Amino acid sequence: MRFVYRFFPLKTIHRNGVNSARAGYAASKQGKFWEMHDKLFETQDTWAEMADPESTFTSYAKALGLNTDQFKRDYESDATLAIVNKAYDTDINMGLNATPTFFLNGKQLVNPNGYQDLKDAVDVASK
């Protein structure tokens, strides 16, 4: 089984969706994607409407033990923005319009109502 996480910042409804994806990618460059991912979701109400959440994201990076100078460079880089935008464009071209979206064996699932629903779908597909 392969689990793939894709950046899909819903630009029209989440003011800082792209910025949070950039923070996740910058953290991934230091091996801490999932830790940053979890922190961003736990604190979304804090940064979601900020005019500039970079300092908040940098404080999260520091708390996660990341090199903050490197984090800032990666967060601000054109390459990071290009990766996030390319993922977004690919997702739009696939017809995606919401998060989360799950695929199993190449077929889109109706979003499961929790862990057990997802587990049951995987169990059926793996038999």
**Total number of domains constituting the chain:** 2
pLDDT tens per residue across span 43-52:
999 999 999 9
**Does 88 share its domain with 117?**
no
**Does 40 share its domain with 87?**
yes
- The secondary structure of the chain as a DSSP string is ----------TTT-TTHHHHHHHHHHHHTTT-HHHHHHHHHHTHHHHTT-S--HHHHHHHHHHTT--HHHHHHHHH-HHHHHHHHHHHHHHHHTT--SSS--EETTEEPPPPSSHHHHHHHHHHHT-
**Does 62 share its domain with 110?**
no
**Does 84 share its domain with 103?**
no
**Does 91 share its domain with 109?**
no
**Does 109 share its domain with 72?**
no
**Does 120 share its domain with 89?**
no
Share of the chain above pLDDT 70, in %: 100
Please tell me the predicted confidence (pLDDT) of residue 21: 97
**Does 9 share its domain with 51?**
yes
26-40, 69-83, 104-118: least confidently modelled range:
104-118
Q: Which domain holds residue 62?
A: 1-96
The rounded mean pLDDT for the chain is 92
